[in-house]
Amino acid sequence: MSSEERIQRAESTDRQLRRSLSLIDVTALVFGALVGSGWLFASYYTAMAVGPAAFISWIIAGVLMLFVALAFAELSAAIPKSGSIVRYPQYTHGSFASLVLSWSYLVASLSVAPAEAIAVVTYLAIFFPWLYATKTTPLGSVTVLTAPGVIIAFALLTAFFLINYYGVKIMGSTNTSLTYIKFVIPIVTILLLLGLALHPRNFSTPSFMPYGTAPIIMSISTTGIVFSYLGFRQGLDFAGETRNPQRDVPLGTILGFVMGIIVYVLLQVSFIGSIPWSALGLRPGNWTGLSATPISAAPFFEVARLSSSSALRWWSWGVMLGAILAPIGTGLIYIGTVSRVLYGMSTNGSMPETFMKLNRHRVPWIGLLISWLIGALYLLPFPSWAYIASLTVFATVFTYTVGGAAVPALRKHAPEIRRPFKLWAPTVMGGIAFIAAYMIVYWAGFSTMWIAVPLVLAGLPIFYIYVAPRWYEVSRSLGAALGVAYWVVLAVTTYFLLYRDIVLPWASISYGPLPLKLSYQVDFWAFVLINLLTTVAFTLVVYSMGNEELRKEINSGWWVIAALFIGIILVFYGTLGPFGSNAPIGYPLDDVSTAVAAAVLYVFALISARRTKDLEALIQSLKGP
């Protein structure tokens, strides 16, 4: 099959998808994915890190993410496709860039549904403690499920699979019903806490910003704020299955996201204002001391339960119901998201065509099955797997960068596409979205980046092994040899140079600041240079062996590789790296440096964009026969 035949088949399959989702369904997809298990813990972690000013962190993160959401809103209105998140970079930057970005999104999405199933069991374990156990790893303690806990989580995962399997209409209506409940419970909680348990002095005890301004920014990534906002893209993943996608997808995305921002800010305000210091036995204003209280296990449940108000004590069981339902809704959405990601990668030519196959309910079911099977593996009680699962969700943040770059790129290279929703000053707005996304990547910190970057790079051999031989005339044996060698080099250097020599010593001091020793820097730079040179050398070998189209694809994707390596270098030497307060690039210079680097990468991405074959075929399909 040629590239042209692949594109034609993808367009044909797109037309077979069942368009069943309404504006309310899209809004519910976005809000339902936003308000998962995060609403029950993120407010608590942010309060400990920041103090009374914690809600400012939510506002800043919300504004930054809103720029990203607006960029994707224009894209979704112009090109409403299922699996669209992984298809936009294919249209603007070709298969090399789209493979890396879509692999990043896939790795992140795969862990969400099982993680949400585990979250449900974790809340049930408050009443049935035999459902989980704590195990110690070299990186710290992690919670794993016992055999009964695994059975319950697996049953939930299977339910997610079956509801999605029998059609997007059933999934959408089920999620919309759950979202109504997920919306009502936080709102009632906010109103009751503000009306019956508000202690205004909590906002000035010991002061409004007791730990300064730095934690307000740093907490955006470290306490779960930005990851509570990740779900705004779920409506985009189902765009091809929406009745009126050019109107409903951008509108539903913005509506759902703004609703999420408002709810999260008010939850943080109500949590701060309702802390019952005397009931907890803490000195007022001892925000870090909350970790030693019952609040650490179930923050909003315990705040309500410890209240002097009988109405709030009764409502604590409503909070517990929300704690169980919130992860169920998010898990239901994300298991379907994975199938759309694999569907999108298949239309790009990055995965076999089998992932484009639809069942009789017009659902891409092979990807759904893969999501269910891999999700089941995540449930097994291996601590190292549990640790990786807690980190892979961070990989999705990296894919946000393409939204900002794709908007002006498509304006330039595909001006004839109709855009029902258009951003003002697209180059400026796209730049803000790109920089905001890259800042969020930086704020993930080295504790995440050390494993997230290798996980993203691990997808690159798919380009050598499958994509280049399948579509661009590269030898299969050469591609396979390069791919396997790349995996070996990446695994060995990650383990010995990052994990063993840097991360383990860092974990041994509870992730406090390491001394700025030369040995740590030598190991880090050995990792960077070995993997950077391997990436460039292996890609250039493929470049020289393929056809002219392959060379165009690779040239358009170098900015993605640069973004990965620049990001991990910046975070290593910044305040969110292993050196902490000893870092050579302190706060706020580290943030400024990252913003400048992001601006340069944005220009690089714009220069690299072009009118690809996929974009040309898309334009022809939009014109009609």
Which of 615, 602, 607 minimizes the C-alpha distance to 71?
A: 602
Taking the whole predicted model, whether its pTM rises above 0.85 is answered as: yes
Token pair for 118: 């585990």
Which of 542, 561, 543 minimizes the C-alpha distance to 552?
A: 543
- Displacement of CA 435 from its chain's centroid (Å): 16
Per-residue model confidence as pLDDT tens digits over 9-25: 766 776 777 788 889 99
> What is d(CA 409, CA 92) in angstroms, rounded to the nearest whole number?
7
The DSSP bridge partners found for residue 135 are 142
Type of residue numbered 249: V
If phi > 0 it is left, if psi is from -120 to 50 it is alpha, else beta; for residue 393 that is: alpha
Contact call for residues 225 and 267 (beta carbons, < 8 A): no
> What is d(CA 266, CA 564) in angstroms, rounded to the nearest whole number?
35
pLDDT reported for residue 297? 79
Q: Which helix (H) or strand (E) holds 412?
A: helix 401-413
Q: Is the dihedral of CA 358, 361, 362, 363 positive or negative?
A: negative
Per DSSP, the chain holds a count of helices (H) and strands (E) of 30, 2
pLDDT reported for residue 39? 78
Per-residue model confidence as pLDDT tens digits over 364-387: 999 999 999 999 988 887 655 555
Please compute the mean of the pLDDT values over residues 578-598 and round it to a whole number: 95
Query: In order of start, what are the domains of the chain with their CATH numbers?
Result: 13-623 (1.20.1740.10)
Token pair for 518: 């030369």
The DSSP bridge partners found for residue 134 are 143
Question: What pLDDT band is residue 391 in, cutting at 50, 70 and 90?
Answer: low
pLDDT reported for residue 59? 96
- Decide: residue 440, CB within 10 A, 0-12 exposed, 13-18 middle, 19+ buried: buried
For residue 624, the number of C-alpha atoms closer than 13 Å in the C-beta half-sphere is 0
Q: Measured over all CA atoms, what is the biggest interatomic distance in the chain, rounded to whole angstroms?
A: 74
Q: Is there a cis peptide before residue 80, judged by omega within 30 degrees of 0?
A: no
Per-residue model confidence as pLDDT tens digits over 291-350: 889 888 789 999 999 988 999 999 999 998 888 888 898 889 889 889 989 989 998 899
Which of 193, 197, 260 minimizes the C-alpha distance to 226?
A: 260
What's the Cα-to-Cα distance from 36 to each of 24, 51, 352, 380, rounded to whole Å? 18, 23, 32, 22
3-state secondary structure 470-482: HHCCCCHHHHHHH
Per-residue model confidence as pLDDT tens digits over 226-264: 778 877 777 887 778 888 888 898 999 999 999 999 999
DSSP state of 513: P
